[in-house]
Each structure stands twice: as C-alpha cells, then as structure tokens.
Amino acid sequence: EFVVGVDLGGTKIAAALFDSEGQLLNREQMETAGAKTAEEVVDRITSMIRRVSDGRLLRGIGMASPGTVNSRDGIVIHGTNLPEWSHVPLKAWMERDLHTEVQVLNDANAAAWGEYVRGAGRGSTNMVYVTFSTGIGSGIVLDGKLFLGSNSFAGELGHHIIDPSGPRCNCGSHGCWEVFASGTAIGLAASERMLTQSSIMSELAAGEPGVSAKHVFEAKRLNDPVAVEVIDRAIYYMALGLVNVIHSFNPDRIVIGGGVSRAGDLLFPQLKEMTDKLVMPSYLGTYELVPAELRDDVGLVGAAALFQ
C-alpha cells in the first residue's frame, strides 16, 4: 500500500510517493509560479500525483498547504503565500479527480507531524515543533497525537503577542513573537545598524538584496560585535517564546527547525542556556531542545505520514 505526500508552497510544489514504511520511492517538484488560478495549481498537482504514483493503488494523499487550513473539510481558507487562494476546497476537488482519500494540513502542522513520526521527535510523547524561518511556525503533538484544536487552526505560536507595544506584524497585531525572533527579524535588526557599524556584515551581504539572518550568524562566527549583539537579543526573544511554550504544554521535547536552525552550534547551546535561565525552576530538566532532522521534505513527509 502506497501513500503520496504533497507540499504546496509559494515557490514550489513537491510530491513524493512512499511505501507503507515511509520509504521514499519517487519524487517530483515544479515551480508554483506560472499557474495562475487555484484550479490550475490543482490540475498540476493531480498530474504530478499520477506521475509519481505510476498506476499504484494509493491508500491516501496527504497535502501540506501554507496559510489557514480547515483540515476537517480539507479547505484552504487563506493561502498566505498563494495569492488568489481563498476557500479552495482542495480535498473535494482532488478526491473527485483521483478517487483517493485526501487529507490537508497547514504546513507547520504537517512538518511537526513529520518530525514526530520520522525525525527528531521520534520517541517523545509531548512534542512542540518550532520553525524559525521567514516567520515562526509551529505544531503541537500531545499524548502522541497532532493537536489541531476545534477548527484545526491550533499552533500559531509565532503570533503569540509578547510585547503589545512592539512593531506591527503581518497578521495585523503588534509585537508577535515572530516580529522579534524570526530569521526576518534578525536580518532587519542587523541591517538597521550594519551600514555604519559593521564592515564584516556589509562585506558578507555585498551583492545581495539585504543582510539576512544567515549573514548575521556568519558574522558572529567572526566575532563581529554588532552581529553578537543582534543575535544575543534574538536568542533572548527566541527563548522567551520557548518558555511560554514550555509553561503551556510541558513538552518533553522541543524540535527546532527552519533556516535559522542551520546556525547549529552558533545557536543551540546559547538558546538552551537562555531558556533554562528564563523558565520556572520546576521545569528545569523536563525538556530537551533539539534540532530538526528532516529538511526540505518535512512537510510532505508529515502529510504522507497521516496515512502510515
């Protein structure tokens, strides 16, 4: 019995065929741009699924989609990076075309489930997955089950408000966690200061559209004082949010993914130390903080794992 996982992203769509053990057998991807309407995107996805499955009988198709997703009915309510995507009945359209059960998850929830079943979350019971990327995404696994909430909207930890007098967030609120601790926030904080104060970062970012979190971590490796300061502050805010997560869910493991997690040793020891410093003492030693193991395919792996 085979399963297909699909990751629908703002820039690319990837689809992969898995066997019942979760072994990846076949994978394909294409650019999202070019297809204008939701119908066109769905047509492309269904032909990708037909190609990767190559006539094999499927137990199900798991889809990861950006934005707000109604997982019960398989409707993409608002596709954040997919313009024109509003109330798209993905499940109904695809089941009509492919005659196979389709499940749709928000991409962060799919990634959380992927890490839980196939990655760094294996063996834990209560796990929270947090991705520090362009924004901050998250997904929550409680008692071994993906926690979706009443409307499948749960897990928007990136929009926990940690300072109502803080800068405005894309969601319309002020001072959300992601405004202080995402990769974008790190890049912005550095670019506000680097031109006058950091020649190392100016050089690293030369020829690129702007300074990004990646440059800031590279500059920190070179002991650039501005980078050190920007990252200290970002890690303080990352830890502050993680402490809220720990106090809310009492997880035994927090899995950290996203581009910023690639900073590895420049991030993890300091983040652990700061989290331990800010958490209530009774929680010390109750959680592990570990890097994600799955990379680009985490969303489609997690969506497929819904059927495995």
- Catalog residues that contact ligand ADP under the rule CB under 6 A: 133-134, 183-184, 187, 212-214, 217, 258-260, 262-263
For ligand ADP, the closer of residues 56 and 159 by Cβ is 159
Q: Rounded distance, CA 116 to CA 296, Å?
A: 15
For ligand ADP, the closer of residues 231 and 242 by Cβ is 231
187 binds, among Zn ion, ligand ADP, none (CB under 5 to 8 A by kind): ligand ADP
**What does 10-21 look like in DSSP terms, one character per residue?**
SSEEEEEEE-TT
For ligand ADP, the closer of residues 40 and 208 by Cβ is 208
CA dihedral 145, 249, 157, 62 (to 10 degrees): -10
- Least distance to ligand ADP from the beta carbon of 7, Å? 11
- Fill in the DSSP letter of residue 69: E
CA 74, distance to chain mean position in Å, is 19
For Zn ion, the closer of residues 171 and 278 by Cβ is 171
- Least distance to Zn ion from the beta carbon of 163, Å? 12
For ligand ADP, the closer of residues 268 and 283 by Cβ is 268
134 binds, among Zn ion, ligand ADP, none (CB under 5 to 8 A by kind): ligand ADP
* HSE-CB for 216 with a 13 A CA cutoff: 32
213 binds, among Zn ion, ligand ADP, none (CB under 5 to 8 A by kind): ligand ADP
86-88 β-sheet, strand order: 68-70, 75-78, 86-88
Residues that bind Zn ion (CB under 5 A): 159, 169, 171, 173, 176
Using DSSP bridges, classify how beta strands 2-8 and 58-65 pair: parallel, antiparallel or unpaired: parallel
